[in-house]
Amino acid sequence: MRKAIFSALLAGLLALSILPAVSAESATPNDTARFLAGLPLETGSPLAALTKESSWERHANYFNSIFGQEEKAHLSKIREFSRVRLSTTHDTMLYMFAGPDALHAVAFFPKASNYVLSGLEPVGDIPELTTLPRGAMPWTLQNLERSLNPLLMLNFFITKHMKSQLNSGPVYGTLPLIYVLLARSGKNIHEMSFVNLADDGSARPPTGPGDKSAAKGVKIVFSGDGGRRQTLYYFNTNLANEGLKNSGFLAFCEKLGIADSLVKSASYLLQSGNFSIVRDFLLDHSATILQDDTGVPVNYFDRKKWQLQPFGHYVTPLSIFPRAYQPQMADLYRKGNPIPLEFGIGYRRHLNESNLLLAEKITGAASE
Give tens-digit pLDDT for 31-86: 999 999 999 998 899 999 999 999 999 999 999 999 999 999 899 999 999 999 99
Ordered by start, the domain boundaries in the chain are 25-40+51-257
pLDDT tier, 134 (very low <50, low <70, confident <90, very high otherwise)? confident
In single-letter form, the type of residue at position 352 comes to N
Q: Smallest Cα–Cα separation from 218: which of 174, 248, 169? A: 174
Positive or negative, the Cα torsion across 30, 31, 37, 42?
Answer: positive
Higher-pLDDT residue of 87 and 78 is 78
Residues 6+ apart with CB under 8 A from 132: 20, 21, 140, 170, 171
The DSSP H or E segment spanning 62 is: helix 54-70
Size (the chain), residues: 368
Q: Which DSSP symbol is given to 105? A: H
* Residue range 174-215, pLDDT digits in tens: 999 999 999 999 999 999 999 999 999 999 999 877 777 889
- The structure's pTM equals 0.89
